[in-house]
Amino acid sequence: MDVTDLTLIELRDAIARRDCAAAEAARACLDRIEAVDPGLHAFLQVFRDEALARAESIDARLSAEGAGAVGPLAGVPIAIKDNLCLDYGRTTCGSRILENYESPYTATCVQRLLDAGAVIVGKTNLDEFAMGSSTEHSAFGPTRNPWDRQRAPGGSSGGSAAAVAARLTPGALGSDTGGSIRQPAAHCGVVGLKPTYGRVSRWGLVAFASSFDQVGPFGRTVADAALLCEALCGPDPLDSTSAEVEPPALLATLERPIDGLRLGIPAQARSGGVDPDVSAAFAAACSVYESLGATLVLIDLPNLEYGIAAYYIIAPAEASTNLARYDGIRYGRRARLEPGEDLETLYRRSRGEGFGAEVKRRIMLGTYALSAGYYDAYYKKAQQARRVIKGDFDRALDEEGLHAVFLPTAPGPAFKLGAKTADPLAMYLEDFFTVAANLAGLPAVSFPIGLAQADGSALPVGGQLVARAFDEMTLLRAARMHEAATDWHTQKPPA
């Protein structure tokens, strides 16, 4: 049995049955990371000793107490995005400014995985402070797409998506502010879930845009993402925006198809701006749903077009305030001062040296949008656009009696490294289909629906479902229906 080929649930069950020791599972992942990751750079840090020691302690507990007592993720190796705090190792956010930052505490969501018995094997690469759609804005170099190493894995959680696609770990955590779980999931051919805003505690997730940020899982199957989501969710007194709702029991009904499934298809999903291979895969996925008895309803989301503009005002505005704390005094990198230089010079130099170009661009955009005299013209208008976009989704879901809206995850398949780094707007347009769920706070999932062809490489295509707030159950059941009828999720990138 090649442990790294198992899905998360298969591996979890093998460990619970004691067919595979947790230490053996951890070692298999660590060895594969050592062999494969130098060509991918999905990981910023690997915790070999800590992971093996923890896996051995899980094995001892499994022997003494049995799997039921240890937890639903007993012994499962997981990777976490490096903007999640962990009380050992470093938490860099892909930034020079936090290059040597050691968090004194562990994020609630990570603690929940640990409480469920998971083994954290390492921390994954990301665009600096999660700002980007390709992982190329990492200060520590890009991650490569396992399907074609000349291409980006998407971003900002590109390291986590690539790790799961390349079978370095069976599951991983990412964060999604405007698409950063779903878009890399699509480009790497895995499942990525952004839960409803408020489902998962943000305590210990380094803030980018606090009214959008949400932590969520990657897996190779819908069930794997569902299992991780169950473990992550639930109220947390340490995050006042975490909702007072109990974690959903997603796995119990996952295999039950939805009778009379009704999916809304927005006009934009079929418009000219989408790559032909993505359009073809999307049309094929629609046919799969129809063959399963679903009704597809053409819907109008008239304000979807304003999503990018609204998001790229509000998210930088929030980022500019969240990033004010990196002043070279309280956190992270501190610049050298010559005798006689003042405090302002220290701030300027520390931030000037510590932040990369995209982060500086966001701080300038956000500061401008919030400045006196421009606030009403930009920030307030963007908030109004946010409200009407949410209204579009609510209306479509309710008036048409839909279970979910179905649309592509990204307008094209994975693009070449360097293709969009010189053109920020082109990079931002990658998020055309994903930002709406963040603006509206709705749960959304991306899952594999086909393969595109480019320059001799097969490249995964993702489809995206968006459901009502706190209805992850319907969302994932609908995604599972497509998965059960197709085998796109079993396709593997070249070794």
- Applying CB under 6 A, the residues found at the interface with ligand GLN are 130-133, 156, 175-180, 208, 315, 431
- Least Å distance between CB 180 and ligand GLN? 3
Q: Whose Cβ is closer to ligand GLN: residue 116's or residue 417's? A: 417
Euclidean distance between CA atoms 241 and 233, whole angstroms: 13
Active site residue 123: no
Euclidean distance between CA atoms 81 and 109, whole angstroms: 12
Choice among 95, 138, 156, 157 that is catalytic: 156
Q: For residue 108, what are its two tokens?
A: 């609630």
Q: Whose Cβ is closer to ligand GLN: residue 203's or residue 208's? A: 208
- Least Å distance between CB 269 and ligand GLN? 19
Euclidean distance between CA atoms 384 and 210, whole angstroms: 18
- Least Å distance between CB 86 and ligand GLN? 19
- Least Å distance between CB 413 and ligand GLN? 16
Question: Cβ-count burial of 311 within 10 angstroms (0-12 exposed, 13-18 middle, 19+ buried)?
Answer: buried
Q: For residue 288, what are its two tokens?
A: 């799969």
Element (H, E) at 158: helix 158-165
- Least Å distance between CB 263 and ligand GLN? 24
Contacts of 276 (CB under 8 A, 6+ apart): none
Place of tokens 């070999």: 48
- Least Å distance between CB 134 and ligand GLN? 9
Dihedral pair phi/psi, residue 104, rounded to 5°:
-80, -5
Q: Where are the alpha helices (DSSP H) in 216-295?
A: 222-232, 276-291
Q: Report the candidate in 83, 329, 360, 105 with the shortest Cα–Cα distance to residue 208.
A: 83
Active site residue 180: yes
Q: Whose Cβ is closer to ligand GLN: residue 111's or residue 133's? A: 133
Q: Whose Cβ is closer to ligand GLN: residue 135's or residue 350's? A: 135
Residue pair 198/441 in contact (Cβ under 8 Å)? The answer is: yes
Q: For residue 195, what are its two tokens?
A: 């839960």
Choice among 95, 134, 157, 180 that is catalytic: 180
Place of tokens 């895969």: 281
Active site residue 446: no
Dihedral pair phi/psi, residue 463, rounded to 5°:
-110, 150
Q: Whose Cβ is closer to ligand GLN: residue 362's or residue 482's? A: 362
Q: Whose Cβ is closer to ligand GLN: residue 32's or residue 194's? A: 194
In the three-class reduction of DSSP (H, G, I as helix; E, B as strand; rest coil), residue 392 is classed as helix
Pairing outcome for strands 77-81 and 119-124: parallel
Query: Could you give the residue numbers annotated as active site?
Result: 81, 156, 180
